[in-house]
Structure 1
Amino acid sequence: MSENQSINQCAAYCLAQRFDIATLSKLISEAKQVRIIKGSLLVEDHSAMSVIFPYGAVVHWNVGQIQQNKLHQLLLTYAENPLELVEEDHFTYTLDCAATRINEDHIEVESADPYVIFALSHGMGQSIKLASFETNAITTINKTSYLPKSLAINGIIQLQRHELAKIRGQLFLTKSDIILNYDLLDTPDFFWEYPEYEPFYAIAAKYLEISQRIDVLSKKLETIHELFEMLADEQKHRQSSRLEWIIIWLIALEIMMTLLGKIL
């Protein structure tokens, strides 16, 4: 990097489960230049750029904090299921470098071409969305980690039936939310049409270890599935035991009625 090259700020956020891209495109285009690229928005304002992805993530390049906050307020107005815990990641970057690479959270970009920025943003957007999935999975596992311990120590899970059903529902929602959105972590369709930009996406995806993290997330989902199945078995066992006792009491009642009939 030469002395004449400036260091700028880059930030990625996951704010919600999903954005209404169609509505946002109309609103933002009233004040700024907007390109709709394969269902995502590339917002340009002089030397600043923001890339808005439909899956609730946004990546800012050289956008000041005040402008970021204003855009976030607008995004959240047209968001589905805003996150209580906002995921974020921060980088620095320099333009017009000899080659594109990322080292210690500093991005050297060989060109100011908006599509290069867009390609890099795809990797960063997927990474921050993946971070949201990771947080959700870890939180769910931690909240329910006492259940297998209780089963191992006591032989039963000491919860009421409705509480068990509620936890099963939470586990199912966590698992289904991630699985239904798993395709978001595939190579974006944009690169089928513009394969020359895929190497830039690959640089970001490799640096942010997206592939390895997906493998780890898959194992966490297996853990959630096992917890779900364990609770299902516990509910079946309780239901079976309840039916057995009902049958026993009915038989006992029938015997008592028979004996009383003979006595009387």
Structure 2
Amino acid sequence: MNFTRALFAKGFTVIAQTSGQRGFLTVTTAAKRSLFCNYRKVLAVPKNLTQYRSVHENTVSPIQIKKRVTRKKRNEEEDLAAQGFFNVTAFSTAEQYDLEALVVGLEEQNLYAAKKFFSTDNLGAEQDVLYVTAKYMVNGEARDIFFFREGSVVMWNFNELEANNVLSFLKPYEKDGYLKVLVKGESEIMPYTYIPEPIEIAEDTQPSKTQALFKNGKFFLSKGDQTFLEKYTFSNAMATSIKLGIWEATLERYIEGMEYLTEDLKKGRRIKIDRAQALRMTGELFALRHMINLSSDLLDTPDFYWDREQLETLYIQVCSYFSINRRTKVMNEKINHCVELAELISHNLNDKHHIRLEWMIIILIMVEVGFEILHHMERHYQSNEPQAMVPVAH
């Protein structure tokens, strides 16, 4: 029986008959011959298990190739929808949007109404956020969109089909758009719902004012005048996270493109890159560092919240949920290492360029010395030649 089990484990078919008692196996004579022949083959099985399986895949028992039944995962979105939650989805599709032209396009499309076009800085020099609302509701809930000038869009209560339609509509208004795969891969989706309004118990008591909150990865909004600001706060944090995700993916692609250079340096091979490419690589790194540390609000809370403490608390909580501070710190560390590598490569190429120039100067000097030697020899031979006697006429 142990021998039979061993052959079963090796993947061979055993022709067997079941005895009267359950659990016992009787091997026929023909099967024994096949087993011993196959056992000799087992002794010569190669170490490459893949090759072995390909040779003997026709002899695998149906019991062994039976697939494990996979359990269906619980659909979390359907469960949240049953509990009264809606979805808010965020995408970052480009480096920048032309919001002024987008307002005109939305008016021509006549599906969404522009509600606010406002600035988020204290100076109000440039309007950088466009807030629109769909002209029809779904399941009794409004459908809002926040367009951020830095190339992000956040959609409230949009299904996947209509979200894709909005992304397609945005294409003409994008500047330096991203790849579709990158946009889909770095998107965020979060559930949200509304806090029930407090019930007034007595006539002389005032109902307590409900405030939005963020708990367990879910947005809870209050119904009232503050709903717009609360949606903007959550949208701002999500837009910041996905934009950081786009930059993280860009940096990872940059790092993968530099791997062959590190291998060449490690093995002492010639670096297969010129000075122009090295300069361009360094410029891309500094441009990315500029966007992260200077052109965005990753290092500090935006000025929009300085006099809105409750909204600032919500913004900080959501940013902490997405680990924005830690991710920003990690990105800066990676950029520093990439800058060091780029500078090392640039110095190496500059040294080679200087050596090449020095050799060119040396060769030119040698050529000039050679010509001077030829001229000197020519003058020497001319001075040693006997001058011809010219007869003097009387």
Sort the TM-score into its range (normalised by shorter chain).
0.7 to 0.9
Deviations 1:135-159 (A, max 9, x none): 1111111101221331232264133
**Worse-superposed segment, 139-148 or 31-40:** 31-40
The structure with the largest strand share of the pair is 1
Range with bigger deviation, 137-146 or 94-103: 94-103
Shift, 1:178, TM fit? 4.3
1:101 aligns with 2:210: no
Cα distance change, pair 102–13 in 1 and its aligned pair in 2 (3 A):
farther
Supply the AA of the counterpart residue of 2:364.
L
Q: Normalization by structure 2: what TM-score?
A: 0.60
How do 1:61-210 residues align onto structure 2 when only pairs under 5 Å count? 61-84=156-179, 85-86=182-183, 87-96=186-195, 100-103=213-216, 106-112=217-223, 113-154=227-268, 156-159=270-273, 161=274, 164-180=275-291, 182=293, 183-185=295-297, 186-210=300-324
**Shift of the alpha carbon at 1:7?**
1.9
Correspondence for 1:24: 102
Structure 2, unmatched stretches of 5+, are 1-79, 120-127, 197-209, 379-394
Q: Which amino acid aligns with 1:184?
A: S
- The SS at the match of 1:81 is strand
State the Cα deviation string for residues 188-230 of structure 1 (Å, max 9, x = none). 2321353431111112111001111111111122123213312
Q: TM-score, normalised by structure 1?
A: 0.87
Give the Cα–Cα distance (whole angstroms) in 2 for the partners of residues 94 and 208 of structure 1.
Answer: 20
Deviations 1:161-180 (A, max 9, x none): 3xx41243144124314414
Say which is worse superposed, 201-210 or 173-182, in terms of deviation: 173-182
Please name the residue that 2:147 is paired with: 52
Distance in 2 separating the partners of 1:166 and 1:179? 20
Letter in 1 for 2:219: E
* Percentage of pairs with the same residue: 24
After superposition, the C-alpha distances for 1:97-128 in whole angstroms (9 at most, x for unaligned) are: 6862242xx41314241211110111100000
Cα distance, 1:33–1:155 mapped onto 2, change above 3 Å: closer
Aligned to 2:61: none
Task: Please say if residues 136 and 174 of structure 1, whose CA atoms lie closer than 8 Å, have aligned partners that are also in contact.
Answer: no
Deviations for 1:49-76, whole angstroms, at most 9, x for unmatched residues?
2211111111122112232122212222
User: In the TM superposition, what is the alpha-carbon distance from 1:262 to its structure 2 partner?
Assistant: 4.2
Counterpart in the other structure of 1:12? 90
Q: Secondary structure at the match of 2:178?
A: strand
The residue type paired with residue 350 of structure 2 is K
The root-mean-square deviation of aligned C-alpha atoms, in Å, is 2.6
Give 3-state SS (helix, strand or coil) of 1:157's partner.
coil
- Point out the structure with max Rg over C-alpha: 2
- Indicate yes or no: 2:119 matched with 1:34: no
Q: Which runs of 5+ in 1 are unaligned?
A: none
In structure 2, what is the Cα distance between the partners aligned to 1:200 and 1:82? 30
CA distance in 2, matches of 1:101, 1:201: 9
1:235 CA displacement: 2.5
Corresponding pairs, count: 259
1:60 & 1:221 partners in 2: Cα distance? 32
More contact order relative to length (CA 8 Å, sep ≥ 6): 1
